[in-house]
Amino acid sequence: MKRDALTVYLNEYLKVSDFSDACPNGLQVEGRSEIRKVITGVSACVELFERAVEKKADAVIVHHGLIWDFARPVYKGGYKKRVKILLENDINLYGYHLPLDAHEEIGNNALMAKLLGLTEIEPFGEYKGMFIGFKGKLKAQNSEQVFDSIKAGINPDTLFYPFGPAKINAVGIISGGARNDVGQAVINGLDLFLTGEAGEHTLHYVKEEGIHYAAAGHHATERFGVRALGEHIKDKFNIDVEFIDIPNPV
């Protein structure tokens, strides 16, 4: 399909215009106009781009792109190499950040809520006037049972701060680096907050507030959306899409 047609579709499907983000969502590096092979991955990096070249990809779609408001690198070192690979091989790069966290069908948080079997799911985790996470109910499962589900479905190395009730009824989920949003979980009276990372202050805060906290990995919690987006594109447009996971323990 044509690059411009894919760009329009993705921007509309992911509701890009609804978000105030720390990066431009959508096409970040322009490549060839015809797209037959797409690689998806979590983060823009040299290793992913080299794999895309090996696979003869026309486009790469990631959750963490190259351009950020808080990082304006000069073109040297690894950043230069990333851009150089894309330009020399005429590969398009798409980045979708918050839209891939918040999407109600193929977003990171919606898919993790489904994985854990949450019901009565509703938006949660306000950021700049938008909700990027979800919260929902469980049928009073033992905390260890819920922890096992997180380890099995998201990350076996999840860090748990188990300071909530023995039975978990209400869960809030915000993927990635949302450690400071645990306060919203406390205000909402949730039993468990699931995100990607923990800060130094997190342990004492959740212990004092009596809530469970699960840090399942920034990378691990944000594999779901971009992989599902690739499957959606594959099914809708009948083009070749492949997810490549470049491991990251954080």
* Domain contains 183: yes
For residue 36, tell me if it sits in a domain.
Answer: yes
Could you tell me if 201 and 108 lie in one domain? yes
pLDDT, position 18: 95
Verify that 68 and 122 share a domain, yes or no. no
Tell me the pLDDT tens digit for each residue of 90-108.
999 999 999 999 999 999 9
Q: 3-class secondary structure for the chain? A: CEHHHHHHHHHHHCCHHHCCCCCCCEEEECCCCECCEEEEEEECCHHHHHHHHHCCCCEEEEEECCCECCECCCCCHHHHHHHHHHHHCCCEEEECCHHHHHCCCCCHHHHHHHHCCCEEEEEEEEECCEEEEEEEEEEEEEHHHHHHHHHHHCCCCCEEEECCCCEEEEEEECCCCCHHHHHHHHHCCCCEEEECCCCCCHHHHHHHHCCEEEECCHHHHCCHHHHHHHHHHHHHHCCEEEECCCCCCC
Q: Is the pLDDT of residue 116 over 80?
A: yes
**Model pLDDT, residue 205:** 98
Domain carrying residue 87: 3-96+223-243
Q: Do 236 and 179 share a domain, yes or no?
A: no
Statement to judge: residues 206 and 192 lie in one domain: yes
What CATH number does residue 156 fall under? Answer: 3.40.1390.30
One domain, residues 63 and 113: no
Same domain, 119 and 160: yes
Number of domains the chain is built from: 2
169 inside domain: yes
206 and 180 inside one domain: yes
The tens digit of pLDDT for each residue in 198-234 reads 999 999 999 999 999 999 999 999 999 999 999 999 9
In a domain, 89, yes or no: yes
**Per-residue confidence at 128, pLDDT binned at 50, 70, 90?**
confident
- The answer to whether residues 67 and 108 belong to one domain is no
**Residue 250 domain-assigned (yes or no):** no
75 and 153 share one domain: no
109 and 190 belong to one structural domain:
yes
In this structure, the answer to whether residues 17 and 77 fall within a common structural domain is yes
Q: Based on the domain organization, do 40 and 80 belong to the same domain?
A: yes
